[in-house]
Amino acid sequence: MNHDILSRNTLPRRSVLYGLGASLGSLAFSSMLAEEQGGKASTGPLTSKKGHFPAKAKRCIFLTMEGGPSHIDTFDPKPKLHDLHLQEFQRSGEMKSAMESGKRYYVQSPFEFQKAGESGADISTNWKHLAQNVDDICFYRGCQVDSVNHPTAMYQLNTGNRFGGDPAIGSWVTYGLGSTNQNLPGYFVLPEVSFPQGGAANWGNGFLPAHFQGTPLRSKGAPILDLLPMKHVTRKHQRENLDLLKTLNQQHLVQHPQHDELSARMESYELAFRMQAEVPELVDLSNEDQKTQELYGIGQEPTDAFGRKCLLARKMVENGVRFVQLYAGSWDSHDYIARAHGNLIQRVDQPISALLTDLKQRGLLDSTLVVWCGEFGRSPDNGQRGGTAYGRDHNPKAMTIWMAGGGVKAGHTIGATDETGAEAVENVHHIRDLHITLLKLLGLDDNRLTYFHGGRFKQLSQFGGEVIKELIA
C-alpha cells in the first residue's frame, strides 16, 4: 500500500478499511475518493482528457433517423427493382421467419437518383440541399445489425446491446474524453416530443457513473424545466444553500463510501447551478443572425423543428459539448413510402445540409464527426400489390450510414449491397465494428476504453471487433 497517498490525503479510517476490500471496484472507488479529497478531481468528472492517440475528431454530432430509413430510396439506388417491380418474391431462412407469412412483391423506388458532386455520389433527387455536400461525405453501405424490432435495434445502435441497460455511445465518449466546458453536460440529446422506441435508455449511462448519461432537452416549451431560479431567489442565496447541502452530503459520503451515486448527485447539483448561467444563452437561437436562421430553414415549414435542432447542435459543439445526438422520427414506412419518405426528407434535408455547410464555414467540420443513420435499413419488397400503397419492411442485413468531417474518407462510397438491396455483400461489418471505428476517429481505443462491472472489464463493442479502415482518411 502506498502510505504517501494516505498521509497526503488523510483519508478517514472508514474509507481506508473500505479500500481494503477484495474487489477491484472497491479499490477503484477508494482511488477516486482519495483523488477527490486530495484535490486532483476538484475540477469535476467531466474534465477534458486526452484520447488514447491523436485524432482529428474532437466532438461528435449523431443524426439519428429513428424508424429505419430506406437505403434503397435515399443513397443506394437499385435499377434492378424497376425490372422486378411487383413480381412475386419469397423470403427464405431467417428473413422469412422474421417477417409475416404470405406472398411478397418487389417494389421499385418511387424516387429518381442522380450522381452528385465531383465524387459522383448516388443520392435521390429529393435531397436537393444535401446533394451540394456529398464531396464532404463518406457513404458506407456495408453495415449490418441483428434485430428487426425497433426497440432492440435502437438499443444496439446506441449502446451495442440489443437488450438495453448498457452505456450509450455518447456516454462512452464523454467517459473517455470528458468535456471542454465544465458549465455544460458533455452529452446532450435532442429528441422529438415522443421519445424514441426504448425510451431514455437509448442515452443512459448504464453501468458507467451517472455523470456520463445524456441530458435530453424538451422539444417544446422550456428546454430544461426549472432552469431559472424563482424570482425571489438570488444567486448568492442559491450558492449558500448548495454549500450547506454539499457539506452534509460529503459527511454522508465519508460514512457510506459504497454509495457512489451520491458523488454523482453532488456534482449534478453543482453542474445545474453553473448551467443556469450558460444554458439560457446557449438555447436562445434569437442571437443568431437572420441569414444563419434562414440557412437552417428556421421560421418556415417543414424545416423549422429540425432546423432548430441542427443549429442548436452547432452551438453546442462550438461551446465545448463533446457529443450531441439529434432525433428525427417516423421513418418506419411500411406503406406509402413515396409520401412518407418524401415528407421526411423535406423536413431534414435543408437543416442537415446547413449544419455541414455552417460547420465547414466556421472551420469546425474537420474536428467534428457528423454521423447519419437509422437502426436498420429496409427491404426491397413488401406485401402490397396494386394501388400506390407500396412500402418496405425492416431489413437488418443492409443499410446505408454516412459520415462527414472528423477524419473520414470524404467523397467516397464504401461497401455495397446486392442488386436488389436485400443484403450487404461488400466490405460487410457488424454495427460493433462501426462503433469501434467511431471511437477510433475520436482518438479512443475500444480495447482500452473499459469499465470494470459485473466481474469483468466491459467495453462498447461488448466482445471486441475491428476498425473499418476503409472509412478513415
For the residues of 204-270, what is the DSSP string, one character each? --TTS-GGGS-EEPPSSS-SSTT-SPPTT--HHHHHHHHHHHHHHHHHHHHH-TT-THHHHHHHHHH
State the residue for C-alpha cell 474524453.
Answer: 177
- Between the alpha carbon of residue 109 and those of residues 100, 153, 261, the distances in Å are 22, 24, 51
The pTM is what? 0.82
The per-residue pLDDT for 304 is: 96
Do 320 and 431 lie in one domain? The reply is yes
Instruction: Say if residue 3 is in the same domain as residue 92.
Output: no
User: Per-block average pLDDT, block size 10, for the chain (473 residues)?
Assistant: 37 41 39 41 75 97 98 98 89 50 86 97 98 98 96 97 95 96 90 92 94 85 60 62 69 70 62 58 87 97 96 95 97 95 98 98 98 97 79 96 98 98 98 98 97 95 94 97
Q: Is residue 270 a part of any domain in this protein?
A: no
SS3 label, residue 298: coil
30 lies in a domain?
A: yes
Residues 314, 390 share a domain: yes
- Is the distance from CB of 433 to CB of 466 less than 8 angstroms? yes
Please indicate, yes or no, if residue 273 is contained in any of the structural domains: no
Q: Is residue 261 part of a domain?
A: no
- Give the total residue count for the chain: 473
Residues 35 and 60 in one domain: no
Residues 25 and 118 in one domain: no
Angle, nearest 10°, between helix axes 261-283 and 304-318? 120
Give pLDDT, residue 183: 83
Q: Are residues 37 and 148 in the same domain?
A: no
Q: Are both 117 and 37 inside the same structural domain?
A: no
Closest to 357 in 3D by CA, of 368, 367, 365, 349: 365
Report pLDDT for 255. Answer: 74
**Does 354 map to a domain?**
yes
Look at residue 232 and tell me if it is in a domain. no
Same domain, 316 and 181: yes
Do residue 319 and residue 349 come from a single domain?
yes
Do 67 and 194 belong to one domain?
yes
243 in any annotated domain: no
Residues 307 and 180 placed together within one structural domain of the fold: yes
- Residue among 132, 131, 65, 55 at smallest CA distance from 368: 55
Secondary element (H or E) of residue 68: none
CATH code: domain of residue 51: 3.40.720
The range of the structural domain enclosing residue 4 comes to 1-42
For residues 25 and 150, state if they share a domain: no
pLDDT of residue 211: 85
For 274, the grid coordinates are 453553473
Report how many domains make up the chain: 2
Determine, yes or no, domain membership for 240.
no
